[in-house]
Amino acid sequence: MKAIVLFAHGSRDPHWHLPMVAVKERIAHSHPDALVACAYLELSTPDLATAVASFSSQGVTDIRVVPMFLGVGKHVRHDLPLMMDELKSQYPDIHFECMQAVGEHPELLDLLAKIAWA
């Protein structure tokens, strides 16, 4: 059983999360059986460990983590790999895949350029 974690920065402002939730809902709409959760680095809940623990208790065997970051800095290049290492050692029976940050995805960069120019 596979699951996706949309991993974003987090914020005290509840409006901040709406785009993350909207992406989650889009996936759930297209793939009604999909297991998808949002998780946050700081200021918001759940954190990544809690989201993974929840999926683990549901018998999930494969977890893809999608870093929902436009800028690719310390959080993505340093903090997240450390968290992934910890999860891998804590859940040796789960296969984890950490994708590149969305801000590194060429199609997303193309779309951002199109949106900015349109």
Instruction: Please give the residue ranges that form the binding site for a copy of itself (CB under 8 A).
Output: 4, 6, 8-9, 11-13, 15-20, 22-23, 26-27, 30-31, 34, 36, 64, 66, 68-74, 77, 99, 102-105, 107-113, 115-117
User: Alpha-carbon distance 23 to 43, whole Å?
Assistant: 20
CB of 100 to a copy of itself, least distance (A): 9
B/e letters for 15-35, b = 16+ CB within 10 Å, e = fewer, are: eebeebeebbeeeeeeeeeeb
CB of 49 to a copy of itself, least distance (A): 20
Which residue, 34 or 90, is less far from a copy of itself as judged by CB? 34
6: helix, coil or strand? strand
